[in-house]
Amino acid sequence: MNARSLTASEGSVQAAQPLLERAERADGSSPVSDQALIAAGQGQRELVVFTAPDDAEPVAVGIVGQGELDLVVDPSKRGAGIGTAALRLLLDSPAARAAAPGGSTGPLAWAHGENPAATALLRGAGFEPVRSLFRMALDPARLPAGDADPFAVELPAGFALRTFDAAAEAAGDAHPADAHAWVQVNSRAFASHPEQGRVTLEDFALMRAEPWFSPDDLFLVATVDTNHTAGFTWVKTLRGEDGIVETELYVIGVDPDFAGTGLGKALLRVTLARMAQHAPQRVTLYVDGDNTRAVGMYESAGFTIDSRSTQWRGPQVSE
């Protein structure tokens, strides 16, 4: 199929959701990141739906902007050249050209999981691999006993644990104190991370608006004497229609000022205790492949690498 056979039009996250869900069921992993969907929902990136002749439903979905692009082809339509044609249209779009000031760098794109078709598509378009992301999994039988209590985990001296305070938010405060504290620590903990480190208060509010969010799954640790937030851990709990419960270590972070205190390992124990309370059938997390210290910490807790995703950088885009 050539690019002229596809029709590209602006779409919404809601309209794209059925295709994204079909792709996740087929591939065993989310086809786009939470950050990409949040950015598209805020209008910071353009969401494009692709339709083909004689097809009423979208055959592919793309998200482009902020120097990145995502592309998902409906599993039932793969192998017909749709991906190649849609990628060409995305790379030629104004959003892709605007994301490359002066054409100095090309856009970034993820191939999620071991995906030979995506790898071949990106390599054929001149993309080169630049970064890896591991999905790690833990046998649920290795979680603490079912009566585990996150608040019973021993913390380093001088720190106290609490859950995210949603009361102020419920009372109408769009950005309660704990939200400010979380964003500040997150930005410091992930200062060099290309996605996580740039989460804003508005992004954080959208993340908390997701149906899976529970304030009881978001833990903050602070100094006892000054109540200064020093770290956090966040569990993402998904309950499928099939009854399967999956707990994901969504993100864990420690302010660099408190590095070396043992907070990271303590927060991981808090995470596992909270996961145990959900009695999940799947336990996962995502971590950058080159973050050997974090990978080692998770391996010591029993996690193993379940799949590898690769980020690719495309050729320079002319404005």
DSSP-derived secondary structure for 214-256: -GGGEEEEEETTT--EEEEEEEEEEE-TTS-EEEEEEEEEE-G
Q: What average pLDDT score do residues 61-82 get?
A: 92
**Single-letter residue type at 315:** P
Quick one: pLDDT at residue 98?
Answer: 66
Quick one: pLDDT at residue 112?
Answer: 85
Where residue 279 falls (left for φ over 0; alpha for ψ -120 to 50; beta otherwise) is left
Is pLDDT at 165 greater than 60 in this prediction?
Answer: yes
Quick one: pLDDT at residue 318?
Answer: 59
Is pLDDT at 168 greater than 80 in this prediction?
Answer: no
Q: What average pLDDT score do residues 220-237 get?
A: 96
Q: Is 19 in a helix, a strand, or coil?
A: helix
CB-based contacts of 167: which residues, under 8 Å, 6+ apart? 176
What pTM was estimated for this model as a whole? 0.84
Quick one: pLDDT at residue 2?
Answer: 58
Q: What average pLDDT score do residues 55-80 get?
A: 91
Query: What's the rounded Cα separation, in Å, for the pair 191 and 181?
Result: 15
Q: What is the pLDDT of residues 268-316, one digit of tens each?
A: 999 999 999 999 999 999 999 999 999 999 999 999 999 999 999 998 7
Quick one: pLDDT at residue 176?
Answer: 78
Least confident of 1-15, 188-202, 288-302: 1-15
Number of C-beta neighbours around residue 271 at 10 A: 25
